[in-house]
Amino acid sequence: MNKLLKEIYNMDKAAMKKAAENVMVGGGTRGGPILARGKGVRVWDIDDNEYIDCTSQSWALYLGYANDEINDIVRDHIENLTHIHQGFDSKPRFYLSQRLAQLAPEGMNRVSFTVGGGPAVEAAMKICAKNVPHARDFVCLYDSYHGTSLGSMGASWISTKANGEYMGGTSFLSLTRPFIRVPNPYTYRNPYNVDAETYIDMCLTMTREVFQRGIAGRPVGVLIEPIQASGGQIILPKRYLQEMRKLCNEFETLMVFDEIQTFGRIGEMFAADYFGVTPDIIVIGKALGGGFPLAGIIISDQLEGFTPNAEELHTFANPTASFVASARLLELLEEWVLENCRNMGAYLNSKLHELAKDYPEMGDIRQAGLHIGVEFVADPKTKETLEKETVDIRNAGMKNGIIFGLGGVRRNVLKIKPPLIVSQQECDEILEKLEKSMKSVLRR
């Protein structure tokens, strides 16, 4: 092994503690183990404790840890190139752009890359600004999350008091864009206690009012996560998205789908295929690079795109190693992984509903492919949130060898989003560890 790599791998706890003084971390659910190596859906910490990872590391490892297929293609490729500047063309960029255009909804054929989701959302905002004249304000939904870059942060719920406290996003309000927010059709709970269909109608009516009289000019664009992931795994109803499409057309503004978390994970490449609604701009990221950093946008043929006039210039927008990893990921998704995602998602969903018969605290189970959230409540009727208990279940999971995600603006949603290659046997293990963790917290 390389001498330097050996030195890094051999750092002991005292050396790490000292070095940690130099580390500044801006977010993430803290307090987890220090991870050392992984394979498939499993990861091991520095003390060799094993975990099944239901976070896929911020939902980015669709093919699991240290995937052989990705490692092989990247190993071959990096003998030639790893990164080249955006101004130079490369075969991997030609190939991946064409492949994504072929897979994207009809009429969406131009692709632009960044290395992070926040900058990709900003790229989508720039395209909106180029194409929608006499407009200033962007619209987003309550409880949305679109990143923490300065351009995207104002659109994220962390810039509100949604969860009862002013979070990090509000520290930078003087630097971030103001977004106009409209109610999200979170049909499981709504402030008016009306039924789901009525609430969808109310959200649409309130949004129409905002478009018409609550905003100067027309919206530059409307940012929507088809499934609000960070906000609590809230699956937006199909009818709502269809009606929003019509509203965007009527008000001559652009509809942007932030598919950074849904791309592939819902068992379809794109939300347009899943919901039957085609936006004007699609934003993708996280898993797109097959585990390597990559994000980007795909835009409608009807739109004016970027020109090479310094409109979108990033040093790392042409990472050829990420491009080849991404190309292999797309191939595998098509070959078998999307189907596995649909099957394992359906399997977990039915087993979770069985489990909910014994655990009424599992108030709502929301599943699309392997995009799964369980909302914990004290009582299914009152829907009072179980915030501390949800955190405790996640922590009990760590002790039981499983890493769950935690989310929702009310912090009471457990996220179960394993790599898309998860097997049925591994799903059984996830369910068994979940039950053990719930039992230790809810039946103590």
Ligand X SMILES: Cc1ncc(COP(=O)(O)O)c(C=O)c1O
> Which stretches of the chain bind ligand X, using CB under 6 A?
116-118, 121, 145-147, 225, 229-230, 258, 260-261, 285, 295
Cβ 382 to ligand X, closest distance in Å?
30
- Which CB atom, from 60 or from 377, has the smaller least distance to ligand X? 60
Question: How many angstroms separate the CA atoms of 222 and 213, rounded?
Answer: 16
Question: How many angstroms separate the CA atoms of 412 and 441, rounded?
Answer: 14
Question: How many angstroms separate the CA atoms of 264 and 259, rounded?
Answer: 9
- Per-residue burial over 198-211, b = 16 or more CB atoms within 10 Å of its CB, e = otherwise: ebbebbbeebbebb
- Which CB atom, from 228 or from 437, has the smaller least distance to ligand X? 228
Helix 320-332 vs helix 68-77: crossing angle, to nearest 10: 150
- Which CB atom, from 312 or from 389, has the smaller least distance to ligand X? 312
Whole-number Cα distances in Å, 373 to 60, 101, 189, 215, 229: 17, 30, 15, 34, 9
- Which CB atom, from 234 or from 441, has the smaller least distance to ligand X? 234
3-class DSSP assignment, residue 405: strand
- Which CB atom, from 218 or from 371, has the smaller least distance to ligand X? 371
Cβ 125 to ligand X, closest distance in Å?
12
Cβ 342 to ligand X, closest distance in Å?
21
- Which CB atom, from 105 or from 117, has the smaller least distance to ligand X? 117
Question: How many angstroms separate the CA atoms of 439 and 420, rounded?
Answer: 27
Helix, strand, coil in percent for the chain, rounding step 5: 40, 20, 40
How much is the CA Rg of the chain, to the nearest whole Å? 22
Cβ 379 to ligand X, closest distance in Å?
30
- Residues constituting the chain: 444
Question: How many angstroms separate the CA atoms of 69 and 330, rounded?
Answer: 12
Question: How many angstroms separate the CA atoms of 435 and 348, rounded?
Answer: 13
- Which CB atom, from 116 or from 185, has the smaller least distance to ligand X? 116
Contact at 8 Å (CB) between 279 and 84?
no
Cβ 237 to ligand X, closest distance in Å?
18
3-class DSSP assignment, residue 281: strand
Cβ 57 to ligand X, closest distance in Å?
11
- Which CB atom, from 143 or from 225, has the smaller least distance to ligand X? 225
Cβ 431 to ligand X, closest distance in Å?
25
Residue facing ligand X at closest CB distance: 117
Cβ 119 to ligand X, closest distance in Å?
7
